[in-house]
Structure 1
C-alpha cells in the first residue's frame, strides 16, 4: 500500500502540472531497480560491495480519455427530422485497456427545444453512419479501447416539428471509465483511486469526468441538386439519341438554395463512371465545363474553381457561398461514351 500511495502522490504532482502523456508504460508492468554501494575498509584496499534488496514498482492504470466532436460546428437540422446525427471520437489516452460508459443528456434551460435522443452507433470503420451496419452502443457491454486507440460513434435523435429557424437543442455527452463506474464512482476527480484496473492493478483517474457538448440547430435552408442528360449519337438518322460508343452525353446539374440563410462553401462533385470521359479532356485546357453559362476549364490548376481529375474521372466545382433565393447554379458539360 505504501508503494501505491507513493505512486499516487507522484502522479498528483504530474497531473496538477498538466499531464499530457498518451499511453505510457503499460498498466501491470513491473519496474525493478537495485542499488549497489562499493567501499574499502582501508585506503587503497580491496573493494567490497553491498547490494540493496531489489525494489519493485508495479505500474498502475492511469485513466485518461478525450472526447472530440467530428462535426465542423453546430449540426444543422430540419423540422421535423428523423435520426439527425452528431459524430464524435473517443480516444483512450491512458495506459491500459479500458471501456467507457457514454452518457447523453440535455440541459433543462438555455436552449430552445429537446431532441428525442434515440441511439448511439459505433462506426464499423468506414466513417459513414449506416444504421443497418454500424452496431448500437451497449452500455452494459461497451467496447474496450486499447491505449492510444479510439472509436468513432454517432449520437442520433429525432427533431420535433413546428420549430423556428435558428432554434437550438444542446446535447451533452460524457465518457466515464467503466472501471470507475463499476466502483460506483460516477463523477471521479483527478487522483481518485479504485480497484479493478487493467492487469490486476489499481485504476487512478488522471482527469475529471470527460465531457463535451454540441448543438442541433434548426435551419430552413434547403439545398437541392438535380442532374439531367441528353444524348447525341452523331449518326444523323433515327432519333439520333442512341447511347452507343462515341455518342455525346450532355449533362446539366442544377443546384438551388431556398428558405433563409446562406449555404457556405458549396462544392459539387460528380464522379463519372468508367464508361464516360469528359469531352476534349486530353486538351491542355482540360475540357470545357460551363458554370452559369460561363465557359471554364477543368484543368488541374483549378484556378477558376473547376477541376477535372483524369485519374479519378471526377469533376469538382467549387461555387462558394450561396444565399437562399439566389439564382440557381447551373453546370453543364459534355462527356463521351467509351
Structure 2
C-alpha cells in the first residue's frame, strides 16, 4: 500500500508582545492517519473496487475519497483548536514577565514527485527576550476630606505595580491651594510604622522601594495647616498631587492621584446696638440696654464661643441679661468692669443674641 496517508497545512498568526513589536509565527498542522485507520480505509476501498468491477467499471487506484473526507474533518477540528490556542495566548501576552525567553523553530514536511514523504526539515531557532514594560496605578482610599478648623488630615494611598517586572517608583507630591495667601499648607508622605495613624518624625518617604509585578505599596499623606494657622481661611481648597514614576531606564511611565482638602473654619461675627430702656434720653440714671448678635458665618463648627464687654467707667452693670438663639447653655461672669458670656458651641450658620443692661452713673 506504500506510506501512510498524510496531509499538512500552514497557518500564520501575528502576535504583539510588550517591548517586542509585532511577531509573525507559522504553525504547520500535520495530519497522519494511524495504521489502523488506513487499514480500515483500504478495506473499504477494496470493497468499493470489487463492487465496481462487478459492474464492469474501472476506478483510479490512487483515489481515496473516504480517507480524504476524514482528513478534512480532522483538519477543520485542529484548525479550530489552533485558533482557540492563539486567542488564549493573546489574552495573557501582556502579562508575560520581563526577561522571559521565547524560542521558536519552524518545521517543514514535503513529498517527492511520487508522493513519498521526505525527511522533515527545520529552521534555525529564533530567540526573543521579553522587555520590561512599566505600569503603575496610584489610588487613594478617600481622595476628598474636610479639615475641621486649623489642623490636619490624613489620606491613605496605594501604589500598584501593574507592569511586567520589578520596579521602584519615585514618589513626589505637589501642594497648591486656593484662593492662596499667606498660609503654609504642607504635605508629607510617610509609612505609618507604629500604626498610630499619625505622622511621627523619621517616617517620611520618597520612593516605594522594590515592588514586584502586581505588588502594592501603601503609605499615608499628612496634609497640615499648622506651620502658619493664622493664614488659613474658611473654605480654602488644598490639592495635593501624589505621583509615582517608574525607575525603568528609558521609561517615563507615571500615574497620579489628586487629594482635595476643604478647610472648614468657624468665622464668628459680632453686631452690637444700644437703646434707652423706656425710650427716654440717655441722661445720668437712665438704663441702657445693649444687644449683641453673635453669628458663626463660617463653614466649621465652633465648640466654644465667649463674648466679653468691658463697660465704660460711666456705666454700672444692672444685673440684667438674657441669651437667646442657637445655644443650649450660657454662663455669665464679671471681673471688675468686664462682663463675660460663655455661650458654648455654635455651629456653622448658627447665631445667638445676648442682651444686658447698664445704668449711666
Q: TM-score range by the shorter chain?
A: 0.3 to 0.5
| TM-score (normalised: structure 1) | 0.47
**Quick check: which has more Rg, 1 or 2?**
2
More helix by share: 2
| TM-score (normalised: structure 2) | 0.44
Q: Relative CO higher for 1 or 2, CA cutoff 8 Å, sep ≥ 6?
A: 1
